């Protein structure tokens, strides 16, 4: 525990109030998010979005042309590349690279990689429940921990478990993500409640507001279990990665305590396939 009289002690609420240095959301990412949520968007419109970002265009063409290795002719048109890749995969490329650009600028490659895995898990869970669009679940999975770029680096990268005071700081990341990153972007505001409440618990002992049971947005409940399962399967400085089987066992033990029991059942069913 930190000394309460320490003048250098960080105040959790002050972290949220004073944090104004969130890097701007890449424009291509904001546009791509609106495209993902509009299934009628055509390839030509998506190509225009991709063409404004050289890194994304180059990566897309590289992925497509890798399939033509050894052939003299290569694809140079983004439109043609999108036809080869397919729309959803192309959207995922935009999301992953733009989010990586935003997060790695803060030295958070691990956060980017975790967000990708959580996005995939959330999409799978959402497909089993027709409550939220799986594509939206994928986007939210990407963005759920975006507020961690507002958490001090020494806390994010501490090679041991956090002390109580540090944990109080860490618990501000859903609020930072919702209010400092999503709120300024009109196309993302409908995601705010899901991101803000993804650490609430079924028993009401979560954060930031202690919501309980069905008062927690369903999307938040999906992200919560996708986030937890993914995190358990990843190595941490203070523990090894768990197997999927051991991670599922822990999730099941906490069913109806931390997690929506219906979602726990679906996760178990998906893993048995």
Whether 59 is catalytic: no
User: Of the candidates 75, 253, 99, 88, which has an alpha carbon nearest to the alpha carbon of residue 188?
Assistant: 99
Residues in the chain with pLDDT < 70?
1-10, 13-42, 66-73, 84-109
Helix H or strand E segment including 18: helix 12-18
DSSP letter for each residue of 14-60: HHHHH---PPPPPHHHHHHHHHHT-TT--HHHHHHHHHT-HHHHHHH
pLDDT the model gives residue 1: 38
Catalytic residue among 31, 91, 100, 148: 148
239 bridge partner residues: 236
Q: Which residues contact 156 (CB under 8 A, 6 or more apart)?
A: 108, 111, 148
DSSP letter for each residue of 199-210: T--TTS--SSS-
The model's pTM is 0.73
Tell me the C-alpha distance between 159 and 146, whole Å. Answer: 21
């Amino acid at each position: 525990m930190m000394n309460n009289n320490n003048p250098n002690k960080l105040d959790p609420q002050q972290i949220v109030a004073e944090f104004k240095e969130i890097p701007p959301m890449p424009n291509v990412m904001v546009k791509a998010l609106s495209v993902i949520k509009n299934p009628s968007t055509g390839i030509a419109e998506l190509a225009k979005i991709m063409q404004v970002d050289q890194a994304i265009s180059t990566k897309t063409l590289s992925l497509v042309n890798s399939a033509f290795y050894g052939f003299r002719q290569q694809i140079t048109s983004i439109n043609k590349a999108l036809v080869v890749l397919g729309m959803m995969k192309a959207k995922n490329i935009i999301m992953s690279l733009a989010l990586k650009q935003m997060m790695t600028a803060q030295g958070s490659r691990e956060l980017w990689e975790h967000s990708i895995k959580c996005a995939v898990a959330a999409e799978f869970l959402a497909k089993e429940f027709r409550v939220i669009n799986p594509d939206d679940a994928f986007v939210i999975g990407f963005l759920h921990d975006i507020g961690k770029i507002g958490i001090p680096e020494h806390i994010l990268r501490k090679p041991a478990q956090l002390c109580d005071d540090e944990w109080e700081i860490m618990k501000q990341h859903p609020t930072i993500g919702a209010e400092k990153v999503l709120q300024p972007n009109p196309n993302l505001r409908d995601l705010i409640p899901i991101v803000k409440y993804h650490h609430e618990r079924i028993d009401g002992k979560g954060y930031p507001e202690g919501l309980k049971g069905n008062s927690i947005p369903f999307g938040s409940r999906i992200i919560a279990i996708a986030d937890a399962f993914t995190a358990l399967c990843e190595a941490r400085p203070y523990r090894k990665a768990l197997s999927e089987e051991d991670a599922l066992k822990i999730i099941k033990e906490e069913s109806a305590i931390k997690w929506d029991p219906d979602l726990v059942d679906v996760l178990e069913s998906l893993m048995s396939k």
